[in-house]
Amino acid sequence: MNSTCTIGDLAEEFGVTTRTIRFYEEKGLLNPSRKGQRRHYSLADRTKLRLILRGKRLGLSLDESAEIILMYGTPGNNRKQLDTLLEKIGQKRKELQARRRELDAMLDEMAQAENKCRAAIADLGQQQKPETS
C-alpha cells in the first residue's frame, strides 16, 4: 500500500465522491499535501476517513466524529478518545432503543387499526348479502 494516494484513489477505495472528500477537507478533518494542483492523502488521512464513515454508520454526527478523531494522539494513551467514543455509542444506543419502542408501538397500533377495518368490512359484507327464503 502506498504511503499517499490521490483523491480519486481515496474516493474509489471508500465508495464516496471526491466532493465528499473535499467537504471533509474543508472541515479540517483531512489534510492532504499538495503537489501543484494534486492532492496527496496520507495513511493518516485514510484512517481519518475510515473513522468518519464508521462514525456515520454508528449514527454520529460529523461534529461528534470530528471531536473523537481530533482527540487522537492526546496524552493518556488515547483513553479519553476511547471513553468519549464509548459514551457516544451508549447515547446513540439509548436513542435507537427509544425509537424502536416508538416504532413497535406504532406497528401495534397499525395492526389494531387494520384488524378493526377488516372486521368492519366483514360486517358490511354480511349486511349486504341478500336474504333467501
The model's pLDDT over 71-120, given as tens digits with 9 standing for 90+, comes to: 876 566 788 888 999 999 999 999 999 999 999 999 999 999 999 999 99
Contacts by residues 23-29 (CB-CB < 8 Å, ≥ 24 positions apart): 24/48, 24/49, 24/52, 27/62, 27/66, 28/66, 29/62, 29/66, 29/69
Q: Which residues are paired to 119 by β-bridges?
A: none
Q: Where are the domains of the chain?
A: 1-58
The model's pLDDT over 30-81, given as tens digits with 9 standing for 90+, comes to: 999 988 888 899 998 998 999 999 999 999 999 999 988 888 765 667 888 8
CA distance 81 to 66: 11
Q: Is the pTM of this model over 0.75?
A: no
Q: What is the DSSP letter of 37?
A: T
Give me the CATH code for the 1-58 domain, please. 1.10.1660.10
